[in-house]
């Protein structure tokens, strides 16, 4: 009998605790199971817990701060990263602004000039990047005969017909945003590199 009563007591306590943990409202988020799944122990780049008391009840830290406190005390604002200065736009390391033209604004893009100065080193970079990103479809000489291109079909021959006269801005935009059956590469190749590829396509593949 005693055993059964103990089981009842434990079960009732368990159920009561269960209900109590559901009591989340206002500033009280309820009790969390395995709280470190929600509150990162590691520093977060921009968000962090600045309240030194938070998680004190489970804290095992030697500095006696709460377990969830994860601010970087050595930096201003206690963040690991700095927020960008208000009303500013981040440029790439070569000083380029973010590319904002939309996929359908190809005509506007065609007027863009290549901001990367042409020299042998840039051409060599462009060649390697072309092999890396374009050869599979367009082929080693850009003639539309790459191995993947054969499967996909309809790959442009960059040496043929009107393609030879494509303005550099047009080529840049097609790589960045894609066109027709060719997918966008903008998320994989940074702007400077795309412009280097454009130099290579114009100078070597299309030899103008
Ligand atoms: C997955 C295959 C694939 C890859 C990779 C690829 N292309 Fe293309 N590309 C195509 C296809 C297919 C077309 C024809 C698109 C159409 O007209 O539907 C095309 C068309 C083009 C055109 C002509 C655009 C126009 O105005 O008609 C240019 C220029 C071009 N690609 C350059 C590149 C360069 C440079 C790279 C490397 C950064 C590249 N492509 C990577 C498949 C690819």
Task: Based on the fold, state whether residues 69 and 118 are members of the same structural domain.
Answer: no
Q: Judge whether 78 and 71 are in contact, CB under 8 Å.
A: yes
Task: Based on the fold, state whether residues 200 and 113 are members of the same structural domain.
Answer: yes
Domain with residue 135: its CATH number is: 1.10.760.10
pLDDT tens column, 89-117 = 988 888 899 999 999 999 999 999 999 99
Report the predicted TM-score, pTM, of the whole model to 2 decimal places. 0.72
Domain count, the chain: 2
Does residue 146 form part of some domain? Answer: yes
Phi, then psi, of 179 in degrees rounded to 5? -160, 135
Given this model, what pLDDT does residue 67 score?
A: 85
Which residue range forms the structural domain that includes residue 174? 106-205
List Cβ neighbours of 111 (8 Å cut-off, separation of 6 or more): 167, 169
Does residue 26 form part of some domain? Answer: no
Which of 142, 165, 169, 182 is the pocket-test mutation for ligand 1 (most atoms within 8 Å of CB)? 182
144 versus 80: the higher-pLDDT residue is: 144
Does residue 68 form part of some domain? Answer: yes
34: its two tokens: 């395995």
Q: How far is the CA of 95 from the centre of ligand 1 (A)?
A: 27
Residues framing ligand 1 (Cβ under 6 A): 133-134, 136-138, 148, 152, 154-156, 158, 163, 166, 171, 174-175, 179-182, 185, 197, 201
Neighbours of 155 (CB within 10 A): 22
Q: How far is the CA of 178 from the centre of ligand 1 (A)?
A: 7
Task: Based on the fold, state whether residues 119 and 73 are members of the same structural domain.
Answer: no
pLDDT tens column, 106-159 = 999 999 999 999 999 999 999 999 999 999 999 999 999 999 999 999 999 999
Does residue 143 form part of some domain? Answer: yes
């Amino acid at each position: 009998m005693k055993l059964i009563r103990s089981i009842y007591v434990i079960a009732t306590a368990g159920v009561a605790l269960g209900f109590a943990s559901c009591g989340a409202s206002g500033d009280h988020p309820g009790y969390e199971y395995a709280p470190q799944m929600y509150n990162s122990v590691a520093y977060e780049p921009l968000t962090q817990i600045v309240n030194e008391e938070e998680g004190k009840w489970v804290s095992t830290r030697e500095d006696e701060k709460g377990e969830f406190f994860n601010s970087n005390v050595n930096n201003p604002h206690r963040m690991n990263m700095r927020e960008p200065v208000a009303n500013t736009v981040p440029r790439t390391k070569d000083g380029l602004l973010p590319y904002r033209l939309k996929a359908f604004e190809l005509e506007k893009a065609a007027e863009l000039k290549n901001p990367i100065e042409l020299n042998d080193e840039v051409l060599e970079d462009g060649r390697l990047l072309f092999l890396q990103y374009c050869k599979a479809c367009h082929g080693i000489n850009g003639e539309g005969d790459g191995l993947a291109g054969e499967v996909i079909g309809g790959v442009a021959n960059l040496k043929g017909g009107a393609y030879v006269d494509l303005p550099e801005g047009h080529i840049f935009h097609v790589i960045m945003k894609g066109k027709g059956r060719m997918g966008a590469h903008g998320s994989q190749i940074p702007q400077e590199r795309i412009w280097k590829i454009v130099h290579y396509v114009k100078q070597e593949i299309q030899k103008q």
